Amino acid sequence: MTDTSCGSIAIVGAPNAGKSTLVNALVGQKVAIVSSKVQTTRTRLIGIATEGSAQLLLIDTPGIFAPRRRLDRAMVRAAWEGAEGADLIAFVVDAKTGFRDDATAILESLIHRPEPKLLVLNKVDITAKTRLLDLAAHANSLAAFRDTYFVSANTGDGVAELKGALAAAMPPGPWHFPEDQLTDATTRLMAAEITREQIYNQLHAELPYSSAVETEKWEERRDGSIAIHQQILVERDSQRAIVLGKSGNRLKEIGSTARAGISELTGKKVHLFLHVKVKEDWTEDRAVYRDSGLDWVD
Ligand SMILES: Nc1nc2c(ncn2[C@@H]2O[C@H](COP(=O)(O)OP(=O)(O)OP(=O)(O)O)[C@@H](O)[C@H]2O)c(=O)[nH]1
Ligand SMILES: [Mg+2]
């Protein structure tokens, strides 16, 4: 194709702002996991969208917050690295919660960043109009946003307009990915993410934050099905018991929902084997960082 354009858009914001939901809405298919809990996304993932002759590389990033653990620091670093050198930064704000600590701190950091910026006020479906206008005025008085968009990543309201604007802002150049590719993530990583999404959806309190999912074995069988062995890492014995649930029922439920999701992702019949392993210090294990696409931070 001639006259194509292609560029990167870093989607940054506080935890739970709806960044991953927005990336999925822009791509038109689910590539990133979503949950009602904060800190769902742990590393950068590119969602690839096309609009006319433009290819949009949407960099979904972990929410930016005041980090404490090594894992948190690695996540926040991954988010800011995603923004570095992007053609555009889209700052996504949960309009319902507005500028609380995390969003305010990000807004302040954005003031000095050289990349062009857009303000995206998300969750308009649950926010009053007057509040939206107040938030837009507040943010624009502090940082130089090229434009402000009001969207609902959930209902799709305003998403087409935002997508058109993103496409128009992309620099001319060849596409970076084949036209049918939707993400840079490997199928293996996406499968592990689907299981992690169920941990976020089905387990509560500290458990999601104390766990990780690793792929142990991935075997394509002759009958066209795939046998996948994944390991759920937790930090303590008591957490292992919670993941298993009574008579192993919780783990079964996580497994059956994840299996359906992975089957949909791969278009194949999937046999999913989940093992729960206690590894007290997995958040201090370099291999886990590498497998989940995070850099080790000292
Ligand atoms: N009502 C409403 N809810 C939304 C909207 N967009 C996202 N959500 C919800 O907000 C929650 C967080 O969404 P995510 O997409 O996981 O948010 P995120 O910014 O990627 O979060 P982290 O990865 O944890 O930083 C989920 O429960 C979504 O369903 C929206 O437009 N309207
Ligand atoms: Mg996310």
Tell me how far the alpha carbon of residue 179 lies from the centroid of ligand 1, in angstroms.
Answer: 27
- Single-letter code of the amino acid located at 180: D
- Assign a CATH topology to domain 187-291: GMP Synthetase; Chain A, domain 3 (3.30.300)
* Segment 241-261, tens digit of pLDDT: 999 999 999 999 999 999 999
Cα–ligand 1 centroid distance for 21 (angstroms): 6
Q: What does the mean pLDDT of the chain come to?
A: 97
43 lines ligand 1 (CB under 6 A): no
Q: What integer pLDDT is reported at residue 291 of this predicted model?
A: 86
Ligand 1 pocket: which of 12, 16, 39, 72 to mutate (most atoms <8 Å of CB)? 16
Say which ligand is closest to the CA of 24.
Answer: 1
The residues, any chain, with a CB within 8 Å of residue 147's CB and separated by 6 or more, are 118, 119, 165
Largest CA distance in the chain: 61
What is the Å distance from ligand 2's center to 236 Cα? 26
Nearest C-alpha to atom 16 of ligand 1 is from which residue?
A: 34
Exposure string for 186-219, b = 16+ CB within 10 A, e = fewer: eeebbbbbbbbbbbbbbbeeebbbbbbbbbeeee
Q: What is the pLDDT of residues 123-178, one digit of tens each?
A: 999 999 999 999 999 999 999 999 999 999 999 999 999 999 999 999 999 999 99
Q: How far is the CA of 246 from the centre of ligand 1 (A)?
A: 30
**pTM higher than the cut 0.85:** yes
Q: Which pLDDT belongs to residue 14? A: 98
pLDDT of residue 2: 65
Q: What is the model's pLDDT at position 292?
A: 86
Over the stretch 229-240, which tens digit does the pLDDT of each residue have?
999 999 999 999
Q: What is the pLDDT of residues 90-134, one digit of tens each?
A: 999 999 999 999 999 999 999 999 999 999 999 999 999 999 999
Which of the two residues, 282 and 1, has the higher pLDDT score? 282
Fold classification of 5-168 is: Rossmann fold (3.40.50)
Return the ligand 1 atom nearest residue 17 CA.
19
Q: Is 154 exposed, middle or buried (0-12, 13-18, 19+ CB in 10 A)?
A: middle
In the chain, where the domains are located? 5-168, 187-291
| pLDDT (average), residues 183-197 | 97
Rounded to an integer, the average pLDDT of 179-190 is 96
CB 245, CB 199: distance < 8 Å: no
Cβ–ligand 1 distance for 58 under 6 Å, the answer no
Q: Which of 34, 197, 294 to mutate to test the pocket of ligand 1 (most atoms within 8 A of CB)?
A: 34
- pLDDT score at 293: 87
Does residue 1 carry a pLDDT above 80?
no
Nearest CA to ligand 1 atom 13: 18
3 state DSSP class of 9: strand
| Tens digits of residue pLDDT in 56-79 | 999 999 999 999 999 999 999 999
